[in-house]
């Protein structure tokens, strides 16, 4: 297992400066891409929320591939981002029943049932 090389982005972003959890609510077209980018930037404290499974219609605009059809989106996305950045595994959490209004701390990206994605510090949401 090779550690993710962050040399290209380290001058302007240091993942160790982000100590708080990132909650991604909705793992479809927006949420899956955001989770991928966070993993590529070296962020590892991620929680994924989605109750849906991967369907053939999702392949056109989401991160998933044929092999993911039938899997819960949070599990498929978890495997994808761990393949990109194995260090994610230690702190990754999945919520296969979606977001149910529980209190969150850290950063929240809502990419489900909203007109546009929002990203904010949980205490201000």
Closest CA to 116 of 12, 29, 1: 29
pLDDT at 18: 81
CA atoms of 63 and 5, how far apart (whole Å): 22
Question: Domain for residue 1, yes or no?
Answer: no
Residue 25 contacts residue 49 (beta carbons within 8 Å)? yes
Query: Do the domain assignments include residue 76?
Result: yes
Domain that holds residue 81: 19-124
Which tens digits make up the pLDDT trace of 52-91? 999 999 999 999 999 999 999 999 999 999 999 999 999 9
As for how many domains the chain has, the answer is 1
Q: What is the pLDDT of residues 9-36, one digit of tens each?
A: 777 777 777 888 999 999 999 999 999 9
């Amino acid at each position: 297992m090779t550690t993710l090389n962050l040399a290209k982005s380290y001058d302007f972003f240091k993942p160790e400066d982000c100590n708080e959890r990132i909650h991604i609510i909705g793992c479809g077209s927006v949420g899956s891409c955001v989770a991928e980018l966070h993993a590529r930037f070296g962020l590892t404290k991620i929680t994924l929320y989605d109750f849906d499974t991967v369907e053939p219609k999702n392949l056109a605009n989401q991160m998933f591939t044929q092999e993911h059809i039938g899997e819960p989106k949070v599990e498929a996305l978890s495997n994808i981002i761990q393949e990109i950045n194995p260090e994610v595994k230690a702190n990754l959490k999945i919520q296969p029943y979606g977001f149910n209004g529980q209190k969150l701390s850290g950063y929240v990206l809502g990419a489900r049932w909203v007109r546009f994605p929002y990203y904010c510090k949980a205490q201000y949401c």
